[in-house]
Amino acid sequence: SEQLFVEMADRMVAEGWRDAGYEFICIDDCWMAPTRDKQGRLQADPKRFPSGIRKLADYVHSKGLKLGIYSDVGNKTCAGFPGSYNHYDLDAQTFASWGVDLLKFDGCNSDSLELLAEGYRLMSLALNKTGRSIVYSCEWPFYLRPMQQPNYTEIKQYCNHWRNFYDVYDSWSSIKSILDWTALHQDSIVKIAGPGGWNDPDMAMIGNFGLSWDQSVTQMAMWAIMAAPLFMSNDLRHISPEAKWLLQNKEVIAINQDPLGKQGYQLAKDKHFQLWERPLSGQAYAVAVLNHQEIGGPQKFTFPLTFLGNGLACNPACFVRQVLPASRDWGVYSWISSLSVEVNPTGTVLLKV
C-alpha cells in the first residue's frame, strides 16, 4: 500500500539509507487495479493506493529519493494484472507523467520470443521518448535463455540492467545457486557489464530471516564483486543493527559502485574454496575468498599473490586491507608472497588489494 512506501521513504532518510547511497524505492508487481481506465491507461489499485502514484512519487521526491515501478512486456504481469503489450508508448508516458524514475519490466505472458524481444526494444524507445530519465530494468535474457543464447550487446543497447537467472529467495541455497550460475556463465556475461548496463543477480536478502550472519556477509561481498545493482528486499522497520551495518558499509558500497564499472569473476576453485577478483579504479583489486563448506569450523585458504590481476596486482608490492567480515589493515606484501585467509563455513573474506 502507499502507506508502506511512505513509511519506507521516511525510514530511508531517518536511518541513513539515503546517505549511504540507496536512493530508489521500488514498487513490484500487484500495485495495479485489475483493469485499465476508460482511456486505456494503467491505474493504481484504488484501495491500496488511494492518492495515486503521482502523489506517492511527489512524496518520495520530497525526501530526496526516487520511485520505481513495475510492469510486464506481455499481456499480463506475472501475478495476472494488466501487462504493457500493445500499450508500450501509453504506459511509458503514464509512468513519466507520474514522475517515475525506474521501470522494472518483467517477461511473463509473452506469446513468442520475437514478441518478447520486440516488446523490450519498444519499451526502451518509448521510455526515452518521454524525455524523462527512467532507469530500465529488464528480465529479457532470463526469459530468452531456455531457448536461445541472449545477445548481450543488443540487450545493453536497450536496458540499464538485466536479470539472467531465477528470482532470489531468502535462503542460502538460492544465494549459492546464483553465484554458481554466474561463475559458470562468466565468460559470456562479465565482459558486457559496465557503466550504463549491468548484470543483475537480484536483490539483497540481508536483514530478513533466511541467511546466517556469515551468509549475509557472503551476499554483500559477492554482490560487490559482481558489480550488482544494489537493491534490498527487506523491511527497514524490523532490521537488526548488524544487518544495517553490513548494508550501509561504506567500504563495501564503494567497491560495489566503483567508477571503473568492471564486473568481477571467479579466478580459482579449490576443494571448498572459491577465489574471486574484481578490477577497481586506481589499480586496485577487490578480492573475495568464499568457503562453500557448510559444516565444521573456519578453514584456511592460502594462495600466491601472483594469482591476482594477471600477476600485476602486487608487482612489485601491494597493500592489503580486509573489508569484511570486519575491517582491518593487513599491511604490505611483496609480489612473491602468499596470502593466508581464514574463512568461516558459508562465509566470505573480502579484501582490497
Clarify whether 37 is annotated catalytic. no
Q: In angstroms, rounded to a whole number, what is the distance separating the alpha carbons of residues 23 and 26? A: 10
Q: How far apart are the first and last CA of the chain?
A: 45
Q: Annotated catalytic residue: which of 19, 111, 167, 235?
A: 167
Q: Which residue has the cell 597493500?
A: 319
Side-chain-side CA neighbours of 47 within 13 Å: the count stands at 3
Instruction: Output Rg (C-alpha) for the chain, integer angstroms.
Output: 21
Angle between helix 88-98 and 53-62 (nearest 10): 50
Q: Annotated catalytic residue: which of 106, 200, 202, 258?
A: 106
> Taking Cα atoms as reference points, which of 328, 329, 325, 305 lies closest to residue 315?
305
> Taking Cα atoms as reference points, which of 253, 195, 200 lies closest to residue 226?
200
Q: Reading across the β-sheet that carries 198-200, which strands appear in turn?
A: 24-26, 66-72, 102-106, 135-138, 161-163, 198-200
Clarify whether 180 is annotated catalytic. no
Q: What does the buried/exposed string (b/e) look like for 12-22 if buried means 16 or more CB atoms within 10 Å of the residue's CB?
A: beeeebbebeb
**What single DSSP character describes residue 76?**
B
Q: Could you list the active site residues?
A: 106, 167
